[in-house]
């Protein structure tokens, strides 16, 4: 299967060659070398390839150059007229759609994506072979840096999909146009499938690497839970002392001494809160969104969803736990600031970060559905129903999860 996927660009080129003039550029070069000028002039212009390189004239035998120049001029004139005729019959958009198949797999966006994907696959192999943590971190960071590139590839593939639909919906005015419209649409559709398979490779790689990251973060937070409870008790004890100190401050005549004690207690509380946050390791909304993207893309993409059963359950459980911890962290942070306003000047802004897990999921899928129309392709067949079904599954699993508890 993999060998077939790797040769898909060549297969597309071969398919395109069947609908091109019978004389390819390579064959034409050989004919220039072997045919005498009189025979060369008899070649039909409509059978020659488009955009014949001008340097062919310089490479040709001297006695054939004049005949070759005339032949190239005739071929260029024929193809130009043909393009003008197609443009007149179907419009500029259809002509551009047909032209897309010539460059669809050679765009800078796709080349960069393919090269970076190959580099990451090599890093993955090295990581599996050596179990080196640095290799794993390198892979995770590389994947995170690819998110913008993935969006560009999806946008480009969406444009190809639009071109396919346009060509399929275009009714041929002349019977002779049927073949070029159908073959152009077919080639573009194969190109879309090729790009979707490359995206699928990335989604599988991302799931594997970011699942490792989630598992690591899960273990780190679990190992800190006992220490976290002790720190919370210490912080609460100091806060009670601070409240008593404030009462004494109002009653005593030794205000400077009481004020000094208050400052010491506030400093201790601030230190313990900072220590707690550092050791626990804050989970960012960006991390959660990326982890959700990772699970959603691998779950709904037709080229990956049947290949991720083993890792998907593990990844989801880790995500649910981290999501609940994220919300607990936001609540804890907000409560600390509300109870100890000296920790931060803008307490109201911090309290706004309080967020429930279920609402986070609902907001995520709402945004995802609005974006999905821009990414959808006929090759992927990703439907809104897939996202809605996955959203319901995640919400059900989240509520059932034994780890989904407010701490």
Question: pLDDT tens track of the chain, all 407 residues?
Answer: 344 444 555 554 454 444 444 788 889 888 988 889 889 888 998 888 888 887 888 888 888 889 889 999 999 898 889 889 999 999 999 999 999 988 888 889 999 999 999 999 999 999 999 999 999 999 999 999 998 899 999 989 989 999 999 999 999 999 989 988 999 999 999 999 999 999 999 999 999 999 999 999 888 887 777 677 777 778 778 777 777 766 655 555 456 666 677 777 777 877 777 777 666 666 788 898 899 999 989 988 889 988 888 889 899 888 888 887 777 766 666 565 555 555 554 444 444 444 456 677 778 777 777 665 545 544 444 556 666 777 777 777 666 653 433 32
Q: Is residue 113 part of a domain?
A: yes
CB atoms under 10 Å from CB of 102, counted, come to: 13
Instruction: Give pairs for 392-398: CB < 8 Å, separation 24+.
Output: 394/316, 394/361, 395/358, 395/361, 395/362, 397/316, 397/320, 398/320, 398/323, 398/357, 398/358, 398/361
Report the phi/psi class of residue 91: left, alpha or beta, with left for phi > 0 and alpha for psi in -120 to 50: left
In this structure, the answer to whether residues 313 and 243 fall within a common structural domain is: yes
Q: Are residues 275 and 153 in the same domain?
A: no
Answer with the one of 137, 159, 191 that is the final residue of a domain: 191
pLDDT of 95: 93
Kindly compute the dihedral angle of the four CA atoms of residues 124, 129, 134, 137, in this order, to the nearest 10 degrees: 30
> Is 204 inside any structural domain?
no
Q: 166 and 225 in one domain? A: no
Whether residue 287 is contained in a domain is answered as: yes
Same domain, 118 and 228: no
Helices (H) and strands (E) in the chain, counts: 17, 0
Pair 31, 72: CB distance under 8 Å: no
DSSP letter, residue 286: H
Domain boundary among 191, 226, 259: 191
Contact indicator for 318, 312 with CB cutoff of 8 Å: no
Give the pLDDT confidence score for residue 19 in this predicted structure. Answer: 46
Question: Angle of helix 178-251 relative to helix 92-100, nearest 10 degrees?
Answer: 80
| Total tally of structural domains belonging to the chain | 2
176 and 231 housed in the same domain: no
- 199 found inside a domain: no
Residue 240 sits in the same domain as residue 112: no
Structure confidence at residue 16 (pLDDT): 45
Instruction: Check residue 264 and give its pLDDT.
Output: 77
Please tell me whether residues 130 and 75 are part of one structural domain: yes
pTM of the model: 0.71
In 3D, which of 292, 122, 153, 141 has the Cα closest to residue 209?
141
In this structure, is residue 203 part of a structural domain? no
Contact criterion met (CB below 8 Å) for 334 and 353: yes
Closest CA to 75 of 97, 98, 101, 43: 43
* Run of H or E residues at 33: helix 25-34
Full residue range of the structural domain in which residue 62 is found: 2-191
The last residue of one of the domains, among 130, 157, 191, is: 191
Do 225 and 125 belong together in one domain? no
In this structure, are 215 and 176 located in the same domain? no
- Same domain, residue pair 24 and 166: yes
User: Using CA atoms in the order 117, 123, 129, 134, what is the torsion angle rounded to 10 degrees?
Assistant: -140
Same domain, 182 and 313: no
Same domain, 97 and 157: yes
């Amino acid at each position: 299967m993999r060998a077939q996927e790797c040769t898909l660009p060549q297969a597309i080129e071969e398919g395109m060659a069947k609908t091109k003039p019978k004389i390819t550029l390579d064959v034409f070069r050989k004919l220039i070398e072997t045919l005498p000028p009189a025979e060369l002039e008899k070649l039909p212009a409509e059978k020659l390839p488009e955009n014949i390189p001008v340097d062919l004239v310089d490479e040709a035998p001297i006695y054939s150059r004049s005949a070759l120049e005339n032949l190239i001029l005739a071929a260029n004139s024929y193809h130009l007229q043909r393009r003008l005729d197609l443009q007149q019959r179907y419009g500029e958009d259809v002509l551009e759609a047909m032209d897309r198949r010539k460059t669809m797999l050679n765009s800078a966006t796709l080349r960069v994506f393919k090269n970076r994907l190959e580099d990451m696959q090599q890093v993955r192999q090295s990581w599996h072979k050596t179990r080196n943590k640095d290799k794993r971190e390198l892979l995770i960071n590389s994947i995170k840096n690819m998110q913008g590139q993935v969006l560009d590839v999806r946008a480009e593939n969406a444009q190809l999909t639009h071109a396919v639909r346009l060509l399929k919906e275009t009714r041929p005015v002349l019977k002779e146009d049927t073949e070029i419209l159908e073959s152009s649409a077919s080639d573009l559709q194969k190109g879309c499938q090729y790009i979707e398979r490359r995206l699928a490779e990335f989604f599988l790689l991302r799931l594997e690497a970011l699942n490792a990251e989630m598992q690591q973060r899960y273990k780190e937070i679990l190992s800190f839970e006992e220490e976290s409870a002790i720190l919370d008790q210490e912080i609460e004890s100091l806060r009670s002392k601070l409240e008593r100190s404030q009462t004494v401050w109002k009653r005593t005549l030794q205000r400077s001494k009481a004020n000094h004690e208050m400052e010491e207690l506030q400093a201790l509380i601030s230190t313990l809160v900072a220590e707690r946050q550092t050791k626990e390791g804050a989970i960012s909304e960006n991390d959660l969104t990326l982890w959700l993207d990772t699970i959603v893309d691998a779950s709904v993409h037709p080229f990956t969803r049947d290949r991720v059963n083993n890792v998907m359950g593990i990844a989801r459980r880790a995500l649910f736990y981290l999501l609940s911890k994220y919300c607990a962290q936001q609540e804890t942070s907000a409560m600390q600031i509300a109870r100890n306003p000296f920790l931060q000047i803008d307490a109201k802004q911090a309290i706004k970060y309080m967020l429930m897990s279920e609402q986070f999921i609902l907001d995520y899928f709402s945004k995802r559905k609005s974006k999905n129309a821009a990414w959808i392709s006929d090759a992927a067949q990703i439907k809104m129903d897939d996202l809605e079904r996955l959203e319901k599954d995640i919400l059900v699993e989240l509520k059932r999860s034994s780890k989904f508890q407010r701490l």
